[in-house]
Structure formats: structure tokens, C-alpha cells
Structure 1
Amino acid sequence: MDVVVALSQCPHLDVNWQDNEGNTALTTAAQAGHITITNYLLNYFPGLDIEKRNCHGFTALMKAAIQGRVECVRALMLAGADIDARDNGRKFTAREWAIFTSRYDTVFAMTRLMQQPCADQFCDTYRSEWPLLPALLAKAQAPKGCIQKISETLRDFFDISNVTEASEDGVLDHMVRMTTSLGSPFIATACRTVCPGSPPCVGKRRYSVQEILKKQRIEQLKSLRPERLENYKRLFQNSRVLLVPKSKDRRASLQPQAQSDGSSSSSPGIRRASLLPLHLLRRSSVRPGMVVPKLRITKAPSSTYVPEKVRRKSSCVDDQFLQIPKWRYKELKEERKKAEEAERKRLEAITKSQLTTGKRK
């Protein structure tokens, strides 16, 4: 993840680059189930192409559905991935591929997202009132008939609980939406989306954070007064980088220095020298700057000098053949064997000398 964050700052990075099989970074992350990397690619890489296909015609959504990566499938669908796209072989959609590979959790998640494609609670216009509450109150306050009163009396007498299944857009769904909305007291105030007027929705392309902030900044600048807008333009003009052409000779120490009268200081071709002394300057591979030449003084050899040919040491007895290299653990093993053999010989010599001394006595 740290590498992905660092690469997002690279201006010349092609996030849609494909490997030999045509898979992009998003395809690889989605099919492997890396939801954090997938979300980061979707949110912070402006030029990301969600519908990029590999050599078989699979998109990132299809690959994630085939592998059963539910979180990645949900993230891609809410980012605007095409759910009706088909591959080149069997002509299946992502949902049909999930059914074909028995990824039923993925099928259920995709079906639920298709039924409720937009998360309204993440929009700033969302209201926490339950839409069905006025109708239920009106139904409860309506006059009841004789049969309804008798049934309610019998239910209360026998304590029969009226258990029903949870309905769509019922009280449970309303509690989930209310507790996860932006205006909910259960959500921290610092947790704000960058586009509260446009919540994520299935089938709608979601822009990256950089694109959203850029559009918001443009709208803010358009709403300013004309004189303030001119000040911003003037500020950006002053902050532009002025490129000074370099001289052909990279050795700045050999370049002509500026004259004392300042006549050559206005010439753009001559680079300004540093105020540091020469012995404090260091050469950098990125920005060479001033280069201090390094001089080596050696005594010239005599005319009859013949350089000695140093022969390279080799463990090979015959130079015609290569010798198998010896590993370090094998060398240690041989040294241990030699030490044990020397110790054994020393003990044998001591025992032999003791026996000879005993016979003499």
C-alpha cells in the first residue's frame, strides 16, 4: 500500500499500463481482493480506466466477480463500472460469471446494489425522517371497525405476538440509513465526503478526489469578484518556473567568471556561481552544479620498466577445466573434520607414550 501511495505522486505514471495478458493494476488488485488498494486506485488516480479489458475481454469487475471478491465488486459497481459488459468468450456479464462460478455471496451483493443503486444517506440533502411514518400514523389513528376491535382484544388476551418479516424500506432499513448518514450523531464530524451533493451510485462514473477538488476550486474562483480573480492569475504567473539555459561545458569552474563591473551578470547563458568555497562544493548526480576537477600526481616510470604480470589465484589444478565452487558450510565442515582428526591423533600419541612408559617401569 505504501508503494501505491508513493506512485500516486508520480506525474509520468501510466496507471492503465497492461501486462502481457492485458491486466492493469486495477484488474490485478480487484481479482486478488485487495480492497484498500482498489479503493485508493479508484479515488486518487485521475486517469484510471475502469473498463480496460485484458486479452480475454475481462474487465476488473468480471475478474473480481469470478474470484468472489465481494468488497471489490461493490467498490467497482459504486465507482461506475459497466455491469452489462460482456467478455469475448462466453459473452457473460459480471453477474452471470458470478453465478457460473458459484459465487453466491457476490451474486446477492450485486442484486442488492441493483435494487438500491444509490446511497441517499451520503447526500447532504438527506433527511432523517422515516418516509412511511406519516402513513403508519394515519393508519393507527383511523377509526376501527367492530371486527378489527374484536381481533385486537383476542390478540391481547391470548398474548399472540404479531411476528412478520422485515419489509423493504421498513424501520430496520431506516435505522441503518439514519445511523450511517452524514448528519447522524454516530458519525464523526470530521468524516465528510468531498462531494456531498453527488453520492456514489451504480452506473455513474465517480471522479477521483483530485478531479473533484479541481472542479470545486474552479467554481470557487468563478464566484469571486473580478479583481480577486485577477490577483490569483497574477500570483500564478509570478510562481512559474523560469528555465535558464545551461552552457554546453558542464565544468562550471572553467567557465568565465562575471566581470567586476557587472556587465556579464545580465547574460542568461552564464550560470551564477555559488558563494561557497571550492573545497566545500560537492558533486551531485542529479544536479551537477560546479564541478571541481580531481588531479592525481604520480611519478613516471623508467623507460625500461616492465609491469609485473600478476597471475590470478585459482583453486583449479588444470586451467582447462572449471572447478566446482565450495560453499562456506562445506569448508567449515572440512575444517571441523581436520580438527577432529588432529585431536584424535594427539590423543593416540599420548596414549601410546603412556603405554611405553608403563612397560619400561
Structure 2
Amino acid sequence: MSRRFVFVFQSGLIVACYNGYVDVVIALSQCPYLDVNWQDNEGNTALITAAQAGHAIISNYLLNYFPGLDIERRNCHGFTALMKAAMQGRAECVRSIMLAGGDIQARDFGRKMTPKEWALFTGRYETARLMSRLMSNPCPEQFCDSFSLEWPLLEELVAQAQEPKTCKQRLINLLSCCPYRFYINNKVKPMEDGVLEHMVRITTGLSSPLIATACRTVCPSSPPCIGKRRHAVQEILKRQRLAELKRLGPERLNNYKKLFQNSRILLIPREKDRRASLQPQLLNNMAAASTVAIRRASLLPLHMLRRSSVRPGLVVPKVRLCKAPAPSYKPEKLRRNSNQNQLQIPKWDYKMKKIERMQEEERQRLLPLIRRR
């Protein structure tokens, strides 16, 4: 009976998203060589894994702090992160992915169903209802700095209340004030854009006094919207810096460059510089191409930045080339002398001369015997 072993290749980020290790995900976001869109042997990415497991904090962190994240990356079955969250009933993850720009009309490879259809097919009715509400109101205006705290229907409702009422309306109002004498079913359905919904928008809006200043968004002029791709925080801040630099005048821009001039290095060739053999050739090439070479200080090694008091100027590293050994080469093991770390008896001059004289006499004595042979 043969056994079949299935090896699942997963990255550290996918394992952290699967188990809900928030600290590990935050630490991995600082790694510059991490591929956030890496897929395992089933095609699942870190976002798909976190959305399927229902880790809303990790999903939001992936969407906001991992530049280059592909929301629409599919696995081997054609499922996106939004589909996996919808079929598992992860409402918070569905909300986050939809507001980050997830495609709500994408279809899988098998049944050709959308995320909402998958939620209904798997019995996740609350998630499907949430998706319908988000589609009906795709843009939360209260997350924009231009949102007005005034109720737009207030003037219209005040005008209706000030109009003269008929006898029938006054009788209905009188009877509704006496619930113990007459039973009247006066249930009112919640009105769209009503006072309760407006109160929720005010309390969650950026202009609300109930919101702390630490909760301010990095892009208050561009609120999230269904179907609009949201960039990571690093990408938004980079665009804002570029826009600020463009708005600066020429004087401010020159001052900014002078302030951060330490991030650049000016290489000036010297006429006479006692250096390694590579130095004259390097300086000649620099003078032929350009007398100024600019490099980033963060990318330049430290030994290139240090100045030597004995040899001032640019420090050129020495490169030694050697032939690679044969494949069958085995390095010799050096025998360590047991007395290496101990103090040795000094050899005096008169003793060395005595030993040399004895060796010379022995050589003269053996010289006739060697000639006879």
C-alpha cells in the first residue's frame, strides 16, 4: 500500500497570517526583500490566508502597510481573497477588502460565481447583506475632510413641520399621544439618510469632535470607495512628498537639497596621491566621464566614507583574485603545538654559537667518510 506525501511550501508571512501572529506580520513589513504576493503550492497568498482565517487586523495591515500588494491574485481554483472571505463568512475582512478596491464582479474558474453569490451559496447571509449595503452606499463621505456635519434633510423636515395641518393630521397626532386609551400601530420604518444614520456618520466622521487627532487618515481628501484601489501608506506618503517638493519654489528646493547634502558624496581627483594600483585608473576614468560622481550614502560601504589621517582622500578597496581549488581538494589539518600557548625558554647568544660550533665540528668529522664512499 503506497502512501502519498504532500509537501506544502509556505513562506514565513503566510504562516504568520494563518496563525494570527500580528507582531510577526508587523516585523516582516520592515523586510525589504519580502515578496508579499508569494504563493504556496496551492496558489494562496498572505492576504488570501489571512482573509480566509478571519484575521481582520492582519488583513488591514497587509492592505495598508505592504506596498505592491496584489488584491486580485488568485489561487489554483481561481478564488481571490474577497471570495475566500465571503464564502467563510468573514464580514470584517470582506469590508476591508471591498473598501480597499477589491473586484466585486470577479468570478472563479469553476462555478463562475461572484463573491456575493459565493456568500449566498455557502449560507453566509449576514456577509451577503453587508456586501449589499456597501454596494448601495459605496463611498463613506464622513471619512473626507470636506464632510459637513449638518443634516441635509433638516431644512426640508422643518419646512414640513411648519406647514398648517389638517384636522385629520391633528387628530392622529392627538391619538398617538395617548397610548393608554387607544391602541394605534404607529410603527415607522427607518428612513434612508435619517437622523439615526446621520448621528452615526457624525460620530465616525473626521470632522467630529469625538474623533481623536491620532485617528486622522493620511489622505483626508480621498475617502475609501468600493471599486477604487487604495494604495499603501508608504506609497501615499511618497506621493505627498513629491507633490510638496513640486509646490516648493526654487529657493526652498535649493535649501532642501543643501540640508540633505550629506546623502551625496563628491569625489575630487588628486594630482599626486599615493594609493593602490587601481587609484590612478579609477581617477582617470572619473575625469574622462565626469569629475563629479554622486552616490547615496546609505548604499555606500562604511570603509568608503571614512577618511584616513595617514592617507587622505578616497579609500580604494583591494580586490584579490585566486584560482578555485579542485573538487577533490581537502584542506590540510594544522597540528597545534601543545606548548604554543605557553612561555618558551629564551635561547641565549652564547648557546646558539656553541650549538653552531658543535654542528660544524661534526660536519668536518664526517666529511672524509663521505669522500671515501
Q: 1:162 aligns with which of 178, 186, 189?
A: 186
Partner of 1:18: 39
Q: TM-score, normalised by structure 1?
A: 0.68
Q: Which amino acid aligns with 1:148?
A: Q
Provide the C-alpha distance between the structure 2 equivalents of 1:135 and 1:267, rounded to a whole number of angstroms: 77
Q: Percent identity?
A: 65
Q: Which amino acid aligns with 2:96?
A: A
CA pair 51-189 structure 1, distance change in 2 beyond 3 A:
same
- String of CA shifts for 1:138-174, please: whole Å, max 9, x gaps: 0011122343334434444656573312111111101
Provide the C-alpha distance between the structure 2 equivalents of 1:45 and 1:183, rounded to a whole number of angstroms: 28
Q: Which runs of 5+ in 2 are unaligned?
A: 1-21, 264-295, 319-333, 341-373
Partner of 1:268: 315
Provide the C-alpha distance between the structure 2 equivalents of 1:189 and 1:218, rounded to a whole number of angstroms: 25
Q: Which amino acid aligns with 1:17?
A: W
Q: 1:215 aligns with which of 239, 242, 252?
A: 239
CA pair 297-216 structure 1, distance change in 2 beyond 3 A:
same
Q: 2:225 aligns with which of 188, 201, 205?
A: 201
The number of residue pairs the alignment matches comes to: 265
Q: 1:39 aligns with which of 57, 60, 74?
A: 60
Q: Which amino acid aligns with 1:243?
A: L
Alpha carbons 1:22, 1:53 under 8 Å: kept: yes
Q: TM-score, normalised by structure 2?
A: 0.66
Confirm or deny that 1:172 pairs with 2:229.
no
Partner of 2:292: none
SS class of match (2:68): coil
Provide the C-alpha distance between the structure 1 equivalents of 2:116 and 2:83, rounded to a whole number of angstroms: 8
- String of CA shifts for 1:185-226, please: whole Å, max 9, x gaps: 222233211111111111111111111111111122222221
Partner of 2:79: 58
Alpha carbons 1:244, 1:269 under 8 Å: kept: no
CA pair 149-214 structure 1, distance change in 2 beyond 3 A:
same
Moved more, 88-97 or 144-153: 144-153
Provide the C-alpha distance between the structure 2 equivalents of 1:62 and 1:133, rounded to a whole number of angstroms: 40
Alpha carbons 1:245, 1:268 under 8 Å: kept: no
Partner of 2:250: 226
CA pair 143-295 structure 1, distance change in 2 beyond 3 A:
farther
Moved more, 31-40 or 179-188: 179-188
Q: Which amino acid aligns with 1:177?
A: R
SS class of match (1:113): helix
SS class of match (2:24): helix
Provide the C-alpha distance between the structure 1 equivalents of 2:251 and 2:337, rounded to a whole number of angstroms: 67
Distance apart, 1:106 and its partner CA:
0.8
Partner of 1:140: 161
Q: 2:210 aligns with which of 186, 190, 198?
A: 186
Q: Which amino acid aligns with 1:71?
A: E
CA pair 29-228 structure 1, distance change in 2 beyond 3 A:
same
Provide the C-alpha distance between the structure 2 equivalents of 1:298 and 1:12, rounded to a whole number of angstroms: 48
Q: 1:243 aligns with which of 276, 297, 300?
A: 300
Partner of 2:91: 70
Provide the C-alpha distance between the structure 1 equivalents of 2:316 and 2:132, rounded to a whole number of angstroms: 67
Provide the C-alpha distance between the structure 2 equivalents of 1:143 and 1:117, rounded to a whole number of angstroms: 39
Matches within 5 A, 1:88-127: 88-127=109-148
Q: Which amino acid aligns with 1:185?
A: P
Partner of 2:325: none
Provide the C-alpha distance between the structure 1 equivalents of 2:99 and 2:221, rounded to a whole number of angstroms: 15
Cα RMSD of the aligned pairs, angstroms, is 2.6
Alpha carbons 1:21, 1:55 under 8 Å: kept: yes
- String of CA shifts for 1:312-359, please: whole Å, max 9, x gaps: xxxxxxxxxxxxxxxxxxxxxxxxxxxxxxxxxxxxxxxxxxxxxxxx
CA pair 11-297 structure 1, distance change in 2 beyond 3 A:
same
Distance apart, 1:296 and its partner CA:
4.8
Which runs of structure 1 show a deviation greater than 6 angstroms over 4 or more consecutive aligned residues?
Answer: none
Alpha carbons 1:245, 1:269 under 8 Å: kept: no
Q: Which amino acid aligns with 1:180?
A: T
CA pair 150-246 structure 1, distance change in 2 beyond 3 A:
closer
Partner of 2:281: none
Distance apart, 1:234 and its partner CA:
4.0
CA pair 156-103 structure 1, distance change in 2 beyond 3 A:
closer
CA pair 243-123 structure 1, distance change in 2 beyond 3 A:
closer
